[in-house]
């Protein structure tokens, strides 16, 4: 009988349902590491505590804030918390660190998908694809809706954040003749120059960019990173694409910038509140392309996500220091609580 317990406390069944082969893989990998996997849909704090208070590893897939500090305090056996995804803003990282719980995310499972959705939103917005499509579908032939459209070669794309996904965007858009600049205080200029991307400060990116694409995590420093002041500093007619986190943009300020024409259009996969409220002023904007937070999805990506998640859980059970831990300062507290790591 396995001596350890791994609990997946929830997941999105509409996009992130687990296929039988991957489920078998997860059970096998975790069993080989001395654990048993429990999967459920525990959608309130009481249910999470009841299911996971005796778990060695707890996995959360959705981005809803299910793991605040009061819940973490009840996970008395938890040696590792895994966010089955890239972003980890749904977890109280400070509280987890204080309690000696390493938190890991999962990387490199959807880089291609998000990069390709970014391009799809950018081109759909810049080329008025959705509005033109709807006029033809509805029996009209209004070519004036294509005005204005500009040649993209020679235009400047600004990447806010230069992680793995932003680099995939840069690789793909090189062949279109974009000039690409990026703002990321944590990435050195020589890393950016490998893909002919120029490192700039935020103010310069806002001033120079014809297109701006967001690829930054949600933190206290990035909440409402694009706001009324930011939009005022941009070129007239800029196009915004966001596939990162909705809260990075002040949506009321974006609506005003779209209404005034300062922002010519936006491609949005993420929103401050999800689902996007029916009374959101953005819904009145004809120059916005919406998708419902699906940029990370493909059948391949979902399978990869859960396989990688199971691998991380197994490493935690084997007392290995996981390379994707997002709160590395927790290590002394974790070792004091659970003992030294084998690697």
Pull the structure tokens for residue 74: 């009840």
Domain ranges of the chain: 4-109+298-338, 111-290
Query: What average pLDDT does the structure give for the chain?
Result: 96
b or e along 274-303 (b: 16 or more beta carbons within 10 Å of the residue's beta carbon)? Answer: eebeeebebeebebbbbbebebbbbeebbb
**Which of 10-14, 30-34, 158-162, 311-315 has the weakest average pLDDT?**
10-14
CA distance readout (Å), 135 to 130, 139, 141, 261, 309: 9, 6, 6, 22, 44
Classify 162 as helix, strand or coil.
coil
- Decide if pLDDT at 234 tops 70: yes
> Average pLDDT of 73-102?
96
Q: Could you tell me the pLDDT band of residue 64, with boundaries at 50, 70 and 90? A: low
Report domain 4-109+298-338's class: alpha beta
Q: Do 274 and 64 meet the contact criterion of CB atoms below 8 Å apart? A: no
The CATH fold assigned to 111-290 is Rossmann fold (3.40.50)
Q: Could you tell me the pLDDT band of residue 170, with boundaries at 50, 70 and 90? A: very high
> Average pLDDT of 104-133?
98
Q: Do domains 4-109+298-338 and 111-290 have the same CATH topology?
A: yes
**Given the residues 69, 134, 201, 274, the one annotated as active site:** 274
Q: Do 159 and 197 meet the contact criterion of CB atoms below 8 Å apart? A: yes
**Given the residues 245, 251, 255, 272, the one annotated as active site:** 245
Whether 245 sits among the annotated catalytic residues: the reply is: yes
């Amino acid at each position: 009988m396995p001596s350890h317990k791994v609990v997946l406390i929830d997941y999105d069944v509409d996009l992130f349902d687990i296929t039988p082969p991957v489920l078998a893989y997860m059970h096998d990998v975790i069993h080989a590491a001395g654990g048993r996997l429990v999967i459920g849909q525990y959608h309130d704090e009481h249910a999470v505590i009841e299911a996971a208070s005796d778990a060695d590893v707890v996995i959360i897939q959705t981005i809803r804030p299910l793991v605040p500090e009061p819940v973490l305090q009840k996970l008395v056996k938890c040696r590792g918390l895994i966010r089955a995804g890239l972003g980890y803003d749904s977890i109280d990282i400070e509280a987890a660190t204080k309690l000696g719980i390493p938190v890991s995310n999962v990387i490199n499972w959807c880089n291609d998908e998000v990069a390709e959705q970014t391009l799809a939103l950018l081109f759909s917005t810049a080329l008025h694809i959705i509005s033109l499509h709807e006029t033809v579908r509805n029996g009209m032939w209004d070519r004036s809706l294509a005005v204005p459209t500009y040649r993209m070669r020679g235009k400047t794309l600004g990447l806010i954040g230069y992680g793995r996904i932003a680099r995939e965007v840069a690789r793909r858009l090189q062949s279109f003749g974009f000039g690409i600049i990026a703002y990321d205080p944590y990435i050195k200029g020589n890393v950016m120059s490998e893909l002919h991307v120029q490192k700039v400060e935020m103010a310069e990116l806002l001033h120079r960019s014809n297109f701006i694409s967001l690829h930054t995590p949600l933190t206290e420093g990035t909440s409402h990173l694009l706001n009324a002041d930011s939009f005022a500093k941009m070129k007239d007619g800029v196009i915004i694409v966001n596939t990162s986190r909705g809260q990075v943009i002040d949506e009321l300020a974006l609506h005003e910038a779209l209404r005034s024409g300062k922002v010519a259009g936006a491609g949005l996969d993420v929103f401050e509140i999800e689902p996007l409220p029916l009374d959101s002023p953005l819904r009145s904007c004809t120059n916005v392309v919406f998708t419902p937070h699906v940029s990370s999805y493909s059948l391949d990506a979902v399978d990869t996500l859960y396989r990688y998640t199971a691998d991380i859980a197994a490493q935690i059970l084997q007392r290995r220091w996981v390379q994707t831990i997002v709160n590395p300062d927790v290590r002394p507290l974790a070792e004091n609580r659970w003992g030294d790591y084998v690697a």
